[in-house]
């Protein structure tokens, strides 16, 4: 690894550990009231997240030592495996249903969300496909349709669970990678025009999705019902002010804000550390983006460049979607904040992605 590669490597490590340490602190801070209520101990969720962090860091180190070019040869296998595992969520005993959603499989005391791993494998597959079909990207049947049909199967499985947020995230990352990879603009515009009415139908067909959109337009109007969570999240941001209430001093986590330690952990963070803390986290993800894009553009082969860009955008896009949901900029939807939200599958998948990026940094050229 040359000096430039070392700088990218160390920046990824530093930003990732910084965010993960903040995440561990916030999981404990945001979860100890509900943890004590449900389990009689304040650190139940913290310990589980700490174990996930250990597993994730181990897999990150392993991924950092595996030559990223290996993924080209097994990209179809990875995508097939992710699809099969997502199907297992519907099987009795091994599949676990929470609030009507089939998103988890159970292995002993461990709950795994397969779609979290599938999104990483999806990026690998699309990067491989963009390299393989480089000379045929102007062809509709060879340079466009495969990107819709094959990844569309995985996206459909996410939609069936149902996990509309994951479906949208996967669609956005595939679309952005196709744009970066040079797919014909006319095809991309056509896909966008076709996708919009599909999204409209998917929202209109389910009353709870319509309700979420109405809440997005005016959460205070529905404060006593569907808008309660969004309103409480906004209260958290307002209560934090510039410097926050102080570490551990959030009131919203005391059963006011639902999902305080998972999807809305950023709101509790804003309440405790204020604008200053929010700025640090947003700046960290921005640095992650800049480092990832800059590094990827210096990888000497097309697959490596697209893989690096895809994984970087995946993590940062999900983070900024979570920020936007917590602040009411996007409609409310369950979306984990990478490295910070409670959830082993999200943390482990993010750390695996970082591990691949670390391996990519070893191939950087001084250009």
Identify the CA nearest to 267 among candidates 328, 355, 188, 217: 328
Give the span between the Cα atoms of 229 and 219, in whole angstroms: 9
Q: Which helix (H) or strand (E) holds 104?
A: strand 101-107
Between the CA atoms of 303, 306, 310 and 313, what dihedral angle is there, to the nearest 10 degrees?
A: 150
The Cα 119–Cα 95 span in angstroms is 19
DSSP 81-96: HHHHHHHGGGSTTTEE
Closest by Cα among 18, 2, 91, 22 to 265:
22
Q: Which of 259, 242, 243, 246 is nearest to 325 (CA)?
A: 259
* pLDDT confidence of residue 367: 55
Residue 287, number of CB atoms within 10 A of its CB:
16
At 221 the three-state DSSP class reads helix
Contact 148, 123 (CB under 8 A): no
Max distance between CA atoms of the chain, in angstroms, equals: 61
pLDDT of residue 236: 93
For residue 162, cis peptide bond before it (omega within 30 degrees of 0): yes
The pLDDT of residue 318 is 95
- pLDDT for position 361: 94
Question: With DSSP H G I counted as helix, E B as strand and the rest as coil, what are the percentages for the chain, rounded to 5?
Answer: 70, 5, 25
Q: Tokens 């797919």 label which residue?
A: 183
Q: What is the mean pLDDT of each run of 10 residues along the chain (367 residues)?
A: 89 96 93 87 91 95 95 92 88 75 78 90 95 85 86 88 88 93 90 86 83 84 84 91 88 87 92 93 97 94 95 96 92 89 93 97 80
> What six digits make up the tokens of 190?
């056509």
- DSSP letters along 297-325, please? TT-SSHHHHHHHHHHHHHHHHHHHHHHHH
Length reported for the chain: 367
Copy the structure tokens of residue 230.
């969004």
Number of neighbouring beta carbons within 10 Å of residue 337: 29
């Amino acid at each position: 690894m040359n000096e430039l590669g070392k700088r990218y490597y160390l920046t990824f490590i530093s930003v990732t550990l910084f965010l993960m340490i903040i995440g561990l602190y916030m999981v404990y801070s945001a979860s100890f009231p509900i943890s004590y209520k449900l389990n009689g101990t304040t650190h139940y969720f913290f310990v589980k997240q700490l174990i996930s962090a250990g597993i994730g860091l181990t897999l990150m180190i392993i991924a950092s030592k595996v030559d990223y070019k290996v993924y080209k040869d097994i990209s179809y296998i990875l995508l097939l495996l992710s699809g099969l595992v997502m199907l297992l969520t519907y099987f009795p005993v091994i599949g676990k249903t929470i609030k009507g959603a089939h998103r988890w499989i159970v292995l002993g005391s461990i709950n795994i969300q397969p779609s979290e791993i599938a999104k990483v494998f999806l990026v690998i597959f699309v990067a491989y496909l963009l390299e393989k079909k480089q000379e045929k990207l102007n062809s509709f049947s060879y340079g466009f349709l495969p990107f819709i049909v094959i990844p569309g199967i995985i996206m459909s499985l996410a939609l069936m669970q149902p996990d509309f947020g994951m479906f949208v995230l996967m669609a956005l990352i595939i679309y952005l990678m196709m744009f970066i990879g040079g797919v014909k603009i006319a095809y991309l515009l056509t896909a966008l025009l076709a996708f919009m009415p599909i999204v409209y139908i998917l929202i209109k067909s389910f009353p709870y999705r319509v309700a979420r959109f109405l809440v997005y337009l005016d959460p205070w109007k529905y404060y006593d019902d569907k808008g309660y969570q969004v309103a409480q999240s906004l209260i958290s941001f307002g209560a934090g002010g510039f410097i926050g209430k102080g570490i551990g001093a959030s009131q919203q986590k005391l059963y006011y804000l639902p999902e305080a330690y998972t999807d809305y952990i950023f709101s509790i963070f804003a309440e405790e550390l204020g604008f200053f803390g929010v700025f640090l986290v947003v700046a960290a993800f921005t640095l992650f983006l800049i480092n990832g894009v800059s590094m990827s553009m210096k990888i000497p082969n097309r697959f490596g460049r697209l893989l690096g860009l895809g994984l970087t955008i995946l993590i940062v896009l999900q983070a900024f979607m979570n920020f936007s949901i917590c602040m009411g900029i996007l409609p409310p939807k369950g979306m984990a904040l990478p490295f910070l939200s409670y959830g082993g599958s999200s943390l482990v998948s993010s750390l695996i992605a970082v591990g691949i990026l670390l391996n990519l940094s070893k191939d950087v050229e001084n250009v």
